């Protein structure tokens, strides 16, 4: 399918206009847009602006409150909680990370839990928020049932991403790990469906428990955990820290971003850590530089042209897309423009 390129600034403005026309404040619209556009820039197309039609459908169905203002409660000097009041996940998670970083800058570590939230998209943009403030971080969330527990056959746990990061060394890129506990994120199945593509075998089973390459059948079945019981255990871990602990929905109770049946009930768990707690900042940076070099200059296995640091491929994609624009397919642009027409805001500007 032919691709159309869009400047990231135009994608951002487009999303902000759609959200403002749907009752979201300008500041929250900018944060939601930032997370979605950053996903597209990083090549995480499964969590970019194509999520907007489903987000708007949830506002129209009255199951996500576009006007909700997250509130913050200090629990101990180093621990706080954000109540998202069933608003968008991104502004609540953004507030949580900014609070965690501020606490960590004084006390070395800051932990902020988020309850009554919704889908916040790609976790890496929150890790990036911490990296930009010179902080290490953990970003956990739970999500709607998609994955069986090990030995089970029906959806119970979320394909809940585990993410963490650390600032890079003087001449190296930051460390940004952001991965679903399944072989692939479920958003990649939605993306294949949007683009009329098949999915690789080994990602998901259909409703009858058979391997499938058809994204529509995969969505009726289950995602497969990565590393067997280990991936399933990581999904349970995300639910313990993000769901059970926060007071949000858990154990299969989260409502997904494509579902109109009720509030998301999503929980997040966000930690910021000062990198110079045990060695000086200068030494930390030097050591990160050494680690980066050792990793990327490691002996390559046959057929491997280059070794990347976690998060590096996404950063290289971002550098390319900042210059050349973000590629979308015509069907995606049409679906986005249908929302723009419906809300009477300008259509997405596509590069000639």
Q: Can you give the binding site for ligand NAD, defined by CB under 6 A?
A: 44, 46-47, 119-124, 141, 143, 159-161, 163, 177-180, 184-188, 308, 310-311, 313-314
- Give the count of beta carbons closer than 10 Å to the beta carbon of residue 2: 6
- At closest approach, how far in Å is the CB of 257 from ligand NAD? 8
Q: Of the two residues 24 and 234, which places its CB atom closer to ligand NAD in the complex?
A: 234
Q: Of the two residues 103 and 163, which places its CB atom closer to ligand NAD in the complex?
A: 163
Q: Of the two residues 185 and 224, which places its CB atom closer to ligand NAD in the complex?
A: 185
Q: Of the two residues 135 and 184, which places its CB atom closer to ligand NAD in the complex?
A: 184
- At closest approach, how far in Å is the CB of 219 from ligand NAD? 14
The SS3 call for residue 262 is coil
Q: Of the two residues 22 and 143, which places its CB atom closer to ligand NAD in the complex?
A: 143
Q: How far apart are the C-alpha atoms of 185 and 46, rounded to whole Å?
A: 8
- At closest approach, how far in Å is the CB of 84 from ligand NAD? 13
Q: Of the two residues 46 and 137, which places its CB atom closer to ligand NAD in the complex?
A: 46
- At closest approach, how far in Å is the CB of 61 from ligand NAD? 19
Residue indicated by tokens 């506002």: 59
The SS3 call for residue 67 is coil
Q: How far apart are the C-alpha atoms of 352 and 104, rounded to whole Å?
A: 46
Decide: residue 210, CB within 10 A, 0-12 exposed, 13-18 middle, 19+ buried.
exposed
- At closest approach, how far in Å is the CB of 246 from ligand NAD? 15
Pairing of strands 145-147, 175-179: unpaired
CA 285 to chain CA centroid, Å, is 27
Among residues 319, 269, 287, 349, the alpha carbon closest in space to that of 100 is found at 269
Q: How far apart are the C-alpha atoms of 178 and 11, rounded to whole Å?
A: 23
- At closest approach, how far in Å is the CB of 110 from ligand NAD? 21
Length of the chain: 352
């Amino acid at each position: 399918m032919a691709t159309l390129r869009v400047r990231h600034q135009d994608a951002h403005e487009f999303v902000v206009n759609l959200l403002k026309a749907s009752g979201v404040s300008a500041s929250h619209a900018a944060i939601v847009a930032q997370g979605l556009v950053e996903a597209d820039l990083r090549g995480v197309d499964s969590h970019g602006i194509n999520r907007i039609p489903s987000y708007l459908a949830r506002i129209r169905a009255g199951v996500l409150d576009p006007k909700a203002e997250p509130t913050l409660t200090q629990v101990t000097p180093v621990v706080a909680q954000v109540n998202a009041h069933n608003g968008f996940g991104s502004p609540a998670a953004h507030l949580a990370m900014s609070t965690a970083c501020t606490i960590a800058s004084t006390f070395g570590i800051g932990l902020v839990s988020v309850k009554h939230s919704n889908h916040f998209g790609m976790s890496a943009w929150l890790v990036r928020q911490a990296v930009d403030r010179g902080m290490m971080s953990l970003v956990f969330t739970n999500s709607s049932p998609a994955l069986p527990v090990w030995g089970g056959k029906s959806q119970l746990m979320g394909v809940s991403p585990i993410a963490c990061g650390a600032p890079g060394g003087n001449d190296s890129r930051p460390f940004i790990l952001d991965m679903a506990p399944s072989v692939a994120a479920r958003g990649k199945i939605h993306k294949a469906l949007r683009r009329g593509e098949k999915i690789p075998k080994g990602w998901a089973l259909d409703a009858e428990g058979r391997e499938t390459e058809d994204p529509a059948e995969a969505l009726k079945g289950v995602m497969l955990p990565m590393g067997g019981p280990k991936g399933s255990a990581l999904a349970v871990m995300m639910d313990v820290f993000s769901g059970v602990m926060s007071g949000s929905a858990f154990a299969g109770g989260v409502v997904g971003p494509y579902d109109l049946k009720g509030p998301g009930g999503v929980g997040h768990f966000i930690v910021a850590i000062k990198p110079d707690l045990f060695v000086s900042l200068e030494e930390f940076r030097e050591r990160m530089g050494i680690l980066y070099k050792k990793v990327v200059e490691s002996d390559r296995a046959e057929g491997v042209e280059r070794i990347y640091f976690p998060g590096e491929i996404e950063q290289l994609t971002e550098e390319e897309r900042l210059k050349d624009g973000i590629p979308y397919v015509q069907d995606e642009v049409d679906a986005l423009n249908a929302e723009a027409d419906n809300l009477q805001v300008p259509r997405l500007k596509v590069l000639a």
